[in-house]
Amino acid sequence: MSPESPTAPVLSPRQVALILFALAMGGFAIGTSEFVVMGLISEIARSFGVNEPQVGHVISAYALGVVMGAPTLAILGNRLSRRSLLLCLMGFYALGNLASALAPGYFTLMGARFIAGLPHGAYFGIAALVAARITPPEQRGAAVGRVMLGLAISLLVGNPLATWMGQTFGWRWAFGLVTLLAMATVFMTMRVLPRGMNAPRPDALRELRDFNRKPVWLALGIGAIGFAGMFCVFSYLTPTLVHVTGVRESFVPFGLVAFGIGGILGTLGGGWMFDRYQFRAVPMLLVWSIVVLLVFPFAAKSPWTVLPAVLAVGTMGALATVLQAHLMDVAREAQTLAAASNHSAFNFANALGPWLGGMAITAGYGWTSTGVVGAATALCGLLIYAWARADLRRTEAAALEDAA
């Protein structure tokens, strides 16, 4: 177990299952909202009279909200119980998505998406810590994976449903759906999550001191850079399917379903890989990512090969679960801040990927250039892992010398 929790609460298996389900429901709402712009990128562009790469900036605005909000809200909420903080964060998320649904213009939508992104990372970070606290130590990876499963299932069910609603009734309805999902999460969490889920919390200065260490920053760096490739491809999946694969926009939900299936497989596989391989699972996933992203430009040319390729891109989400669990081992007393900041890192990747992909597309390299750009970012993540692994070995060697 993480060093913050000397004793775990005693809960029945049914209670644990209901708590994990409630936490995953919040992940489902967040995942539906986070990725819905990618499925409705053409509709939003037409609505506001802008081009599709410009709508990519709306995606980046949300991601930057996560980057800034995750550590900030984790620190500001340090005095709240985890139950209260989860309820506040999801309530805030509902309001941010309601504002997105009512946005009258392009720049207003961008601002609303930034606001909606603020509670994203802190919610997942606190949810992961609660999940780890109510399960045995050897099952931490699997428990975190179950919380993240809500995010993966949103790609399979929530995002295609919201995309269909947006294409059929207008894109604003998609954010209205997310608002309802977020409010349902608030009510279910109030009902199933008992009070007293807290562990001893360090003061803010102690948490910041333990957070500001090389193993933590290197783990966050792997996510921030190495994960950008998935978002680079997925952000422009709709125009890639239409302009490269040559299918109609009505085919797009099938691509989202394929990505969602890959996300579920990746999330479950990531939890299993961490419990089995610990930090060594990271390079396996990054090498897999490089291969998948380099194959994508070729596979995108045919409807028969693009769906398996999109599914494979979705499996890259395993990296999120592995790094989330790894941070619990290296963060010492900065558990809350590190857990929340993991989602800052991944949403930095969510901002970086569309930006780099948009630059390549605007420069004339075509929609499928996102695969090559994404592979380059995964390679950079692999180099950061090598740095982190070497630093870990030096630390372990120094500890052995001191013990001798």
Exposure of 314 in the CB half-sphere (CA atoms within 13 A)? 28
Distance of CA 321 to the CA centre of its chain: 9
Query: Which segments of the chain have a pLDDT < 70?
Result: 1-10, 137-138, 140-141, 196-204, 399-404
Spell out the domain ranges in the chain: 13-195+204-403
What single string gives the DSSP state of each residue in 229-263?
Answer: HHHHHHHTHHHHIIIII---GGGHHHHHHHHHHHH
> What does the pLDDT read at residue 92?
94
Q: Look-up: residue for tokens 């941010």?
A: 96
> What does the pLDDT read at residue 2?
41
Helices (H), 77-200: 82-101, 106-117, 120-133, 140-153, 159-169, 172-192
Spatial contact of 223 and 349, defined as CB atoms under 8 Å apart: yes
Q: How many residues does the chain have?
A: 404
Q: Express each pLDDT in 349-375 by its tens digit.
A: 877 888 899 899 988 898 999 999 999
Please give the C-alpha separations between residue 126 and each of 114, 343, 348, 365, in angstroms, as whole numbers.
Answer: 20, 11, 19, 41
Q: Which two structure tokens, joined as six digits, stand for 130?
A: 């609660």
Query: d(Cα 312, Cα 269) in Å, to the nearest integer?
Result: 13
* Angle of the 41-48 helix axis to the 13-39 helix axis, nearest 10: 50
> What does the pLDDT read at residue 9?
57
> What does the pLDDT read at residue 402?
65
Spatial contact of 323 and 273, defined as CB atoms under 8 Å apart: no
Query: d(Cα 324, Cα 313) in Å, to the nearest integer?
Result: 19
Selection from 192, 266, 232, 253 nearest residue 372 by Cα: 232
Query: d(Cα 93, Cα 178) in Å, to the nearest integer?
Result: 9
Query: d(Cα 230, Cα 2) in Å, to the nearest integer?
Result: 29
> What does the pLDDT read at residue 196?
66
The three-class DSSP label of residue 118 is: coil
> What does the pLDDT read at residue 336?
75
> What does the pLDDT read at residue 5?
45
Spatial contact of 105 and 49, defined as CB atoms under 8 Å apart: no
> What does the pLDDT read at residue 102?
93
Query: d(Cα 167, Cα 10) in Å, to the nearest integer?
Result: 47
Architecture field, domain 13-195+204-403: Up-down Bundle (1.20)
> What does the pLDDT read at residue 244?
92
The three-class DSSP label of residue 240 is: helix
> What does the pLDDT read at residue 6?
46
> What does the pLDDT read at residue 344?
80
Q: Which residues contact 356 (CB under 8 A, 6 or more apart)?
A: 228, 232, 373, 377
